[in-house]
Amino acid sequence: MKNHIKVNGQLRQTNKKWTHLSQRQRERISNWLRIEYTKFVQVNRKRPKKYEHDEILREVMDQIEEHKIWIPYGEVKKYYLSKVSKWFRKIENEWEVQGYHNEDE
């Protein structure tokens, strides 16, 4: 039990990985991350800075906690950072189709 802690009477695994979540939990969290990221980029018309990534992650971690899903912050952050480039390219392609031009890039 060296990798477990007790929180509010529940036993939690401290070394839990992204792959340990059920498929439904992974999809739900992934959708929340993508939605928050897309919302940020569309409102601000730019990529988030480091502290802004943390704000996006904080929003999603609140949703994760509301749904009583246990996953360490570091695992969610690692997954999120692996996806942001793909999501930004997709948004950028949509801008090109719509005729927008991003002057920061």
pLDDT tens digits, residue range 7-45?
A: 777 666 667 889 989 999 999 999 999 999 999 999 998
Indicate left, alpha or beta for 35 from its phi (over 0: left) and psi (-120 to 50: alpha): alpha
DSSP-H helix ranges across 1-105? 23-44, 50-66, 73-98
Q: Mean pLDDT for the chain?
A: 86
The answer to whether the CB of 32 falls within 8 A of the CB of 87 is no
The per-residue pLDDT for 92 is 85
